[in-house]
Structures are given as C-alpha cells and as structure tokens.
C-alpha cells in the first residue's frame, strides 16, 4: 500500500513543480502578477524561473521592434488643401512593468500609439503648406509637358520639407511614449494623397491640359500641312513654268525652222507662194456653209481660174 502512495505523492510533487516553473526566452521579458497586481520586477534573464502555482500569473512581452501601421486620416494643410495621410512607425516595449500598468498588452500599446502618432501628425501637417509635406529638397522639378500648366503655380521652395516634418513628429511623440513604457524609434509617411473631391479637380485640370496640348498639336499639324501644300503648289507651278518655257522655246525654234524651210521653198517659185497664201486666206475665211461672191477682177478668182491667172 505504501508504494502506490509514494508514487502518487511523487506525481503530485512533479505536477506542482511543473506548474510552478516557467521559461523565459531571449526574445521575451516577463511580468509576474499576483491577484492582478505586479510583484517583483521585470524578468528578462533567459532560462527557467519559479512562480507560485495558481496564485501568480506570467505575462510575456516581446523585446523585438514592433510595427505600427496607423489608419489613414484626412488632414487639412496650412494652405487649406485636404489630404489623406497614412503613417507607420517602429517601436518596442522598453519598460515592461510600466507598459503593463499603462496599457496592459500590445493591442493597448498600438491603440495608444495611434492616438499619439496621429495627433502629432495632425499638428505638424496643419502647420505646413502642402508643398512642405510632399517635398524633401529644393531640387528642380522634372515636369512633363502635360503637368507644366498644372503644377507651375504650386512649385515653390521649401523651408521644412517632408523629412524634417517626420523628424518633428518623432521627436514630439517619442517624448510622450516613455510614460507608457514604449520606445518610439521611427515615424514615416506611407502615403499622402488628395481627398476625393480634390483628386477630381486635379484630374479635371489634367484632362483640360491634355486637351490644350492636343489642340496645339493639331494646330501645329495643320500649319505644317498648309506649308507642305504651299510648297507642293510652288513646286508644281515652277515645274509647269519650266515646262511651258521649254515648250515655247521648242515651238519658237520649230516655227523659225519651218519659216526658214517655207522661205527657202517659196523663194524658188514666187507664184506658187502667192497661190498658197491665197488658198490659206480663203480657207481661213470660209466654211462649208459660207457663200462667197467674187468679182471678175478678184485676186482669189484669178488663182482659181488658172495657175497663171489667165
């Protein structure tokens, strides 16, 4: 009978020891609470540790850097431009005891960071113009043609810039977070965008600018087409004039040659020449329906009556 009792007692002791031991890894830090109240300090030494079974509770917190991803917020800038701002940050639990007392767990820490970071972001952006939030340096803009008319009036130099604004937010927020046991190491803007109404206005301006560029391109094309047509007409006119001049020169040479041939031919027989000339004048003055009355002493009648006028 004693053996089963000894075994049972050994099992109970082992169970009590097992439930009274907890481990701490290298990436963890632990707070022990007793009846809901923290006791002792932060346990961050890796290895096995003891606690009172059923009375004390282990609360574990990570040591590594954690990610904060805030919600997008609509914020007005100093120059009354409404924008959506999406922020992110990196933080860690620097004081586990203070963190547990202030926010209890990581979800509470994320919620408190959301209030702090978004509040400081709203203050910083509301005190700056939009161009300060967008730009980090005063380097020259590389504008495309369609954006020249839209952005030229909004391009100005900056005094603060995006990087310094995030540094200001980090500085102000990190001064608040230690009271919650949180160390904030970095704050960034994930995305900055216009609100829906402003986006539509910007898009409409872009459409109008594209239409203006298209109209200008059409006008330039029409001007080039008119120039090509004018040049073509000048080229055609020049070619026509050269052809006409060449044709007239050839005709003149041919007429001169024909005249010379005729002169040589007619010089051999003057009567034949006079006869031919008379027939040409007669043919030019008469047609098939004409009736001609000639007197007996007419030169034409004389040539018609006989080659010698007899």
Instruction: Examine the domain organization and report whether 57 and 70 are in the same domain.
Output: no
Residue 304 confidence (pLDDT): 62
- Positive or negative torsion for Cα 260, 262, 268, 273: negative
For the chain, how many structural domains are there in total? 2
Compute the average pLDDT of residues 82-103. 92
Q: Judge whether 247 lies within some domain.
A: no
Under the banding of pLDDT at 50, 70 and 90, the label for residue 143 is: low
| Res 120 pLDDT > 70 | yes
CATH number of the domain at 134, please: 3.30.479.30
Residue 37 confidence (pLDDT): 87
Instruction: Examine the domain organization and report whether 72 and 188 are in the same domain.
Output: yes
| Res 258 pLDDT > 70 | yes
| Polymer length of the chain | 310
Contact criterion met (CB below 8 Å) for 57 and 32? yes
Compute the average pLDDT of residues 178-199. 89
**Better pLDDT: 304 or 249:** 249
Q: Judge whether 220 lies within some domain.
A: no
Residue 169 confidence (pLDDT): 95
Instruction: Examine the domain organization and report whether 70 and 190 are in the same domain.
Output: yes
Compute the average pLDDT of residues 42-47. 88
Each residue's pLDDT tens digit, 190-239: 999 888 777 777 778 778 888 888 888 888 888 899 889 889 888 888 88
Compute the average pLDDT of residues 78-105. 91
- State the Cα torsion 248-250-253-259 to the nearest 10°: -80
Tell me the pTM. 0.61
Instruction: Examine the domain organization and report whether 83 and 125 are in the same domain.
Output: yes
| Res 274 pLDDT > 50 | yes
- Closest alpha carbon to 165 in 195, 133, 193, 196: 133
Q: Judge whether 235 lies within some domain.
A: no
What does the DSSP assignment read for 152-187? GGG----SS-HHHHHHHHHHHHHTTGGGGTEEEEEE
Instruction: Examine the domain organization and report whether 51 and 97 are in the same domain.
Output: no
- Residue span of the structural domain in which 119 resides: 66-194
Element (H, E) at 93: strand 82-93
Under the banding of pLDDT at 50, 70 and 90, the label for residue 153 is: very low
Instruction: Examine the domain organization and report whether 95 and 140 are in the same domain.
Output: yes
Least confident of 38-42, 50-54, 61-65, 79-83: 50-54
Under the banding of pLDDT at 50, 70 and 90, the label for residue 245 is: confident
Q: Judge whether 184 lies within some domain.
A: yes
* CA–CA dist 295, 209 (Å, integer): 91
Contact criterion met (CB below 8 Å) for 118 and 74? no
Q: Judge whether 164 lies within some domain.
A: yes
Instruction: Examine the domain organization and report whether 112 and 174 are in the same domain.
Output: yes
Compute the average pLDDT of residues 127-135. 88
* CA–CA dist 54, 257 (Å, integer): 139
Contact criterion met (CB below 8 Å) for 156 and 132? no
Residue 157 confidence (pLDDT): 72
Instruction: Examine the domain organization and report whether 76 and 124 are in the same domain.
Output: yes
Give the end of a domain, one of 194, 210, 234: 194
| Res 126 pLDDT > 50 | yes
Q: Judge whether 209 lies within some domain.
A: no
Residues whose CB falls within 8 Å of the CB of residue 37, separated by 6 or more in sequence, listed in order: none
Q: Judge whether 104 lies within some domain.
A: yes
Instruction: Examine the domain organization and report whether 58 and 77 are in the same domain.
Output: no
Give the end of a domain, one of 132, 167, 194: 194
Average model confidence (pLDDT) across the chain: 81
**Better pLDDT: 309 or 248:** 248
Instruction: Examine the domain organization and report whether 108 and 17 are in the same domain.
Output: no
């Amino acid at each position: 009978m004693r053996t089963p009792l000894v075994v049972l007692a050994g099992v109970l002791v082992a169970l009590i020891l097992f439930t009274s031991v907890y481990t701490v890894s290298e990436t963890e830090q632990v707070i022990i609470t007793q009846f809901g109240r923290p006791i002792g300090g932060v346990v961050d030494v890796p290895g096995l540790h003891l606690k009172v079974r059923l009375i004390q509770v282990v609360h574990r917190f990570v040591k590594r850097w954690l990610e904060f991803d805030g919600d997008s917020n609509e914020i007005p800038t100093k120059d009354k431009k409404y924008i959506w701002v999406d922020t992110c940050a990196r933080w860690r639990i620097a004081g586990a005891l203070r963190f547990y007392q202030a926010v209890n767990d990581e979800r509470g820490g994320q919620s408190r960071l959301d209030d702090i970071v978004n509040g400081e972001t709203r203050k910083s952006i509301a005190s700056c113009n939009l161009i300060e939030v967008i730009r980090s340096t005063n380097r020259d803009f590389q504008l495309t043609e369609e954006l020249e008319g839209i952005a030229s009036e909004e391009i100005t130099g900056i005094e603060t810039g995006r990087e310094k604004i995030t540094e200001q937010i980090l500085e102000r927020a990190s001064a608040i977070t230690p009271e919650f046991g949180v160390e904030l190491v970095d704050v960034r803007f994930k995305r900055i965008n216009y609100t829906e109404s402003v986006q539509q206005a910007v898009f409409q301006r872009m459409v109008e600018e594209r239409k203006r560029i298209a109209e200008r391109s059409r006008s330039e094309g029409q001007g080039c087409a008119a120039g090509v047509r004018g040049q073509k007409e000048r080229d055609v006119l020049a070619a026509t004039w050269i052809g006409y001049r060449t044709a007239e020169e050839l005709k003149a040479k041919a007429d001169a040659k024909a005249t010379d041939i005729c002169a040589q031919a007619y010089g051999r027989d003057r009567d034949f020449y006079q006869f031919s000339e008379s027939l040409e004048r007669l043919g030019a003055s008469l047609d098939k329906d004409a009736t001609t009355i000639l007197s007996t002493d007419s030169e034409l009648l004389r040539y018609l009556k006989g080659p010698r006028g007899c």
